[in-house]
Amino acid sequence: MGASWAVARAVGERASLDASALTLPKLIAHIDESGVKAFVAATDGNHGRAVARMAKLLGRPAFIFIPDGVTQAAQDAIKSEGATVIHVPGSYDGAVESANAQALSQPGALLIQDTSWEGYQDIPAWIVEGYQTLCAEIDEQLGSAPTVVVVPVGVGSLAEGVTRYYRGQSSFTPALLSVEPEVAACLLESLHAGALTSVETYTSIMAGLNCGTPSASAWPILQHGITGAVAVSEEDAADAVHELNALGVDSGPCGGATLAGLRNALADPGLRAALGVDASSTVILINTEGFSANPLPEESA
C-alpha cells in the first residue's frame, strides 16, 4: 500500500498528472513523460518487492538493495518481480545509503524509500499516506473502536501511518503499542533517550524489522502519539509464529512479533493499565508478513 501509492504519486508528479485521479493505466500511459527510467529501493522485508512489482507494471527495471539477513525466500520473491537484487554486506542503514547512491548516480533512477532524512521527505510521506489505507479498512470492517492497535516497527513508517490516522483522521482513538526486535530496538531506545537515536543491529528472524535508525519524519509523530513500546526476543517471536500458524493465521516472524509484543506489554502492570486492556477489549494485531515470505530458520533449512 505504501510503496504503490508513493510510486504513483512520484510518477504522477513528474508527469504533471492530477494526484486525485491517478490510475495504473494512466501511469503506464504517461511513464515516459515522467522521465523515470528505473526504480531503486533498499529493503529488509516487503517494501522492496512492492517497489519491484510497481516497476514491472510500469515497464521499468528495479534495483533492490538488501542487507545481511534477508532470507533466500524473500530474495526470490523480489527477483520474481523482475528486479535486480544487490546484496550490501552489513546493516539495513548501509543498504539505504547504497540505494541512495545508486539513484543519485544513475540518470533517470528514482529512489522509493520508506525512511526519510534531510532533503528526502516527500516520497516517505506518500508511503505513510498509503499505509493509512490499512487503518481505514480496519475501521470499516470492525465498525467500532478498537482498544489497542499493535504495530510492528522497523524504521517506523508503518507505525507513523497508523499513528497519524488514529491521532488525526479516525473518529476512534485506541491505544497504540509499537513492537521491535530486542536486537534492533531503535524506537524504544529513542524513546528512552528522548531523541532520535541509532542502535547497532544484530541478526534477527524478524528481518523486516531489523533497522537501526527511525525515520526522521516518523520519530516526532511516534514520540508523542504512541501509548507504549516494547521489544521482543527471537524466541518469543518464533513461539508466536507457531501459535498463529496453528490457529490458521498465516504469519512470519514480523507478524508474530505483534502477538509476542502484546503479551510482553500485558505482563507489565503499568503498561497494561496504560493500554486499558481488560476482558472486554478489542485488540488489533497488524501482521505484515506471511510465513512463506520469511519462514523460520528451522523450517527453511
Same domain flag for 157 and 240: yes
The domain boundary, picked from 54, 81, 113, lies at 113
Same domain flag for 288 and 156: yes
Share the mean pLDDT of the chain: 96
DSSP class per residue in 153-166: -SSSHHHHHHHHII
Q: Residue 38 corresponds to which amino acid?
A: A
pTM higher than 0.95 for the full model? Answer: no
pLDDT band at 167 (very low <50, low <70, confident <90, very high): very high
Domain boundaries, position 145: 131-300
Task: Find the mean pLDDT for residues 25-37.
Answer: 98
The domain boundary, picked from 113, 147, 164, lies at 113
The domain boundary, picked from 113, 140, 169, lies at 113
Same domain flag for 104 and 216: no
CATH code assigned at 30 = 3.40.50.1100
The model's pLDDT over 67-106, given as tens digits with 9 standing for 90+, comes to 998 989 899 999 999 999 999 999 999 999 999 999 999 9
Distances (CA, A) of 252 to 1, 80, 95, 111, 287: 19, 19, 22, 27, 8
Task: Find the mean pLDDT for residues 181-209.
Answer: 97
- Residue 299: the pLDDT is 64
Same domain flag for 106 and 188: no
pLDDT band at 51 (very low <50, low <70, confident <90, very high): very high
The model's pLDDT over 209-262, given as tens digits with 9 standing for 90+, comes to 999 999 999 999 999 999 999 999 999 999 999 999 999 999 999 999 999 999
Number of domains in the chain: 2
